[in-house]
Amino acid sequence: MIPVTCFPGQKIAVLGLGRSGLATARALKAGGAEPILWDDSAEAREKAQTEGFICQDLSRNGAMDGITALITSPGIPHLYPEPNRVIAAALALGIPVDNDIGLFFRSFATQDWEAYDTPPRVIAVTGSNGKSTTTALIHHILEAAGRPTQVAGNIGRGALDIDPGIDGEVIVLELSSYQTELARALTPDIAVFTNLSPDHLDRHHGMGGYFAAKRRLFAEGGPDRAVIGVDEVEGQFMANQLAEGAEDDRVIRISSGQKLEGFGWSVFARKGFLSEWRKGRQMASIDLRSVPGLPGAHNHQNACAAYAAVRSLGIGPKVIEAAFHSFAGLPHRSQLVGERGGVRFINDSKATNVDSAAKALQAFPRIRWIAGGLGKDGGIKGLVPHLGAVSKAYLIGHSARDFALELGSTPYEICNTMARAVAMAAAEAESGEVVLLAPAAASFDQYPNFERRGDDFCAQVQAVLAG
């Protein structure tokens, strides 16, 4: 735990008692504050109370009297589409609103660091797609290199739930736009921006607000090194703003598909090869085509981001290359579940929108595609240009029939359930094909989350393989 010591003896309100909320309450208490907690869920409040915390409805008149600050969980709206009523009350009263990420950056460094040979460092990763894989890959490379490291934030543990930093340690944080938008302190040593595509637009009031939330990590965070994906204009703009010129190697531009040779420092992947260039010279090259845990151009972009981040720490290309090959990938993100008769079964349940599904569909040459669920605005029309590798689609869930109308000439079967889709795809797949779950839809029609949907896919695949 990272004790939050900046509020000794003060009453601090904590709104939302999920993973980050309870970790925040514990950290505040350890630092000498008096946390006052609330969550609309009676079950969450009961759990907090069993730990000895005071729960009080913060929306009642006078509930905020004597409160010094309000710490809110990332999923609770604070501005758009409209502020939560408790946050609105804090704003009206002038009570500072923060989140656990802001508290982490205010609390992580301690006087103990003065005795360290190498102070702990923080790498923070944000972007629309690939954040989790990039974060996990950085963490994996650091472990392979023998560096002490912890991973937290939007993946794994809450940021305040990790252990205090030790000599030479590197903390890797995955940060969502919800987390970067509100944090009152953002001071990573290295910040990574993977890419940008439309998401959470109602929460950020459009693409401009969404990009602005991501940009805060760099513009207000002031990292020593910025790793910026420049495959979209927003990334190009941000890299341009942060760098003093093309030769400024404090900004490392990364790309999957573009050749980036005219910059002080760049890392890019083309035709399956990662290249590092510095000041007009190629420094290293890695063949990514045979790396099983990083299939497809989108994962090659993740590899470039992770490579650039750890190279900033002085880790050598050979160590990074070896770590790439031992990286197993994350569950539900291009996860190899099994193989039979030359047919691979890939779980990409995290592909909940058109953009992420398009990247999955471009990663394999011959696909039996399982898609569907609770469709999002716009359906899957945007995937039509990426269906050339799809032998047949197997559609499930609430939007199965809507998706079928948008597939054009692509053969399809309306299966409704995961069990039927997996069984049919496995029976019809030929050697060299991939049975790919990339739903392009939310899971909430049939499952509580994308993880449970992916788990069901894995269970059905294992049943097929055992049959």
> Binding site for ATP, residues?
127-133
Residue 328, classified by CB atoms within 10 Å of its CB into exposed (0-12), middle (13-18) or buried (19+), is exposed
**Structure tokens that stand for 255 in this block:** 């790309």
CA torsion 430-434-437-439 (nearest 10°) is -90
Of the candidates 251, 345, 350, 358, the residue with the CA atom closest to the CA atom of residue 298: 358
b/e per residue, 231-241, with b = 16+ CB within 10 A? bbebbeebbee
Q: In the chain, count of helices (H) and strands (E)?
A: 15, 20
Pairing of strands 335-340, 281-287: unpaired
Cα–Cα distance, 337 to 417 (Å, whole number):
19
**Residues making up the binding site:** 127-133
Cα–Cα distance, 302 to 125 (Å, whole number):
11
Hey, which bits of 258-382 come out as E strands?
A: 265-270, 273-278, 281-287, 335-340, 343-347, 367-372
Residue 135 CA, distance from chain mean position: 7
- DSSP-derived 3-state class of residue 386: helix
Residue 65, classified by CB atoms within 10 Å of its CB into exposed (0-12), middle (13-18) or buried (19+), is exposed
Amino acid at 212: A
Cα–Cα distance, 134 to 334 (Å, whole number):
13
Residue 36 contacts residue 25 (beta carbons within 8 Å): no
Residue 35 contacts residue 60 (beta carbons within 8 Å): no
Q: What H or E segment, with its residue span, contains residue 256?
A: strand 251-256
Q: What H or E segment, with its residue span, contains residue 11?
A: strand 11-15
Residue 324 contacts residue 303 (beta carbons within 8 Å): yes
Which residues lie closer than 8 Å to 1 by C-beta, 6 or more apart? Answer: 23, 26, 27, 30, 160, 161, 162, 163, 164
DSSP codes, 274-308: EEEEETTEEEEEEE-TT-TTS-HHHHHHHHHHHHH
